Chains A and B, each alone.
Chain A
Amino acid sequence: AQSVTQLDSQVPVFEEAPVELRCNYSSSVSVYLFWYVQYPNQGLQLLLKYLSGSTLVKGINGFEAEFNKSQTSFHLRKPSVHISDTAEYFCAVSDSRPGGYNKLIFGAGTRLAVHP
């Protein structure tokens, strides 16, 4: 079984400042890792994913994340945030084994609030 912990429920930051949203996971098998963003009253949009290969993953809207297997982390970063980045961010994990069950396990979410 897998689990995901997002260490911060809320992250306030000023516009143009850098931000890091933290995510740690627990799993007994190999995993895929994802970050999704949710704007108010909307579904989830995929920001980026780690499936294999390079541990530094670049996504949309200037976001990137680094997979650290030894620390079981997948933190999301952006060097300079905009007001429009204000949203809820979810880290998620799924089983990556061939034929494995592809259920996504979500963290509790981190509310990013960008202030002018």
Chain B
Amino acid sequence: GAVVSQHPSRVICKSGTSVKIECRSLDFQATTMFWYRQFPKKSLMLMATSNEGSKATYEQGVEKDKFLINHASLTLSTLTVTSAHPEDSSFYICSAMTRGRAKNIQYFGAGTRLSVL
């Protein structure tokens, strides 16, 4: 149980294009999903928190218009990197949590490696 699927696992795109990353909870309903960014050999940096049916809460310094987050259902959240540039290249990881299960444990997806040329 507690499986979180993240897709795609790897994406290469041209500068100026937009990329959408999906995060799905497969066997539970995720009331809250989190999006992280991880730089090489670094820890995870929380970008935003999304609750189903409401607007995402972004961390300080994260551009809302650059990183669009949608949490339209209890099993799906998406992160869209708009007008991507090489500096957006990174490893993006999502996690999902439900208050009804195991006291607020976050379950992580496998991550998406974004490379912007």
Q: Which residues of A contact B (CB under 8 A)?
A: 32, 34, 36, 41-46, 49, 51, 90, 94, 102-104, 106-109
Q: Is B104 close to A, CB under 8 A?
A: yes
Q: Is B75 close to A, CB under 8 A?
A: no
Q: Is B32 close to A, CB under 8 A?
A: yes
Against A, the Cβ 8 Å flags (1 = close, 0 = not) of B79-117 are: 000000000000101010100000111111111010000
* Residue pair B43, A109 in contact (C-beta under 8 Å): yes
Q: Which residues of B contact A (CB under 8 A)?
A: 4, 6, 32, 34, 42-44, 46, 49, 91, 93, 95, 97, 103-111, 113
Chain A residues, CB < 8 A from B108: 36, 43-46
Residue on B nearest A51 in the bound complex, by CB: B103
Residue on A nearest B6 in the bound complex, by CB: A43
> What are 26 sample pairs from A and B whose C-beta atoms fall under 8 A apart?
A32-B103, A34-B105, A41-B91, A41-B111, A42-B111, A43-B93, A43-B95, A44-B44, A44-B93, A44-B95, A44-B108, A46-B105, A46-B107, A46-B108, A49-B105, A51-B103, A90-B43, A102-B32, A102-B97, A103-B34, A103-B49, A104-B46, A104-B95, A106-B44, A107-B43, A108-B43
In the assembled complex, the Cα of A42 lies from the Cα of B107 at a distance in Å of 13
Shortest Cβ distance from residue B110 to the other chain A in the assembled complex, whole angstroms = 4
* Residue pair A43, B103 in contact (C-beta under 8 Å): no
In the assembled complex, the Cα of A108 lies from the Cα of B49 at a distance in Å of 20
Most buried by A among B34, B97, B106: B106
In the assembled complex, the Cα of A113 lies from the Cα of B104 at a distance in Å of 31
Residue on B nearest A45 in the bound complex, by CB: B108
In the assembled complex, the Cα of A32 lies from the Cα of B117 at a distance in Å of 40
Q: A44-B93, A46-B105 are known contacts. Are A103 and B111 too (CB-CB below 8 A)?
A: no
In the assembled complex, the Cα of A115 lies from the Cα of B71 at a distance in Å of 43
* Residue pair A106, B43 in contact (C-beta under 8 Å): yes
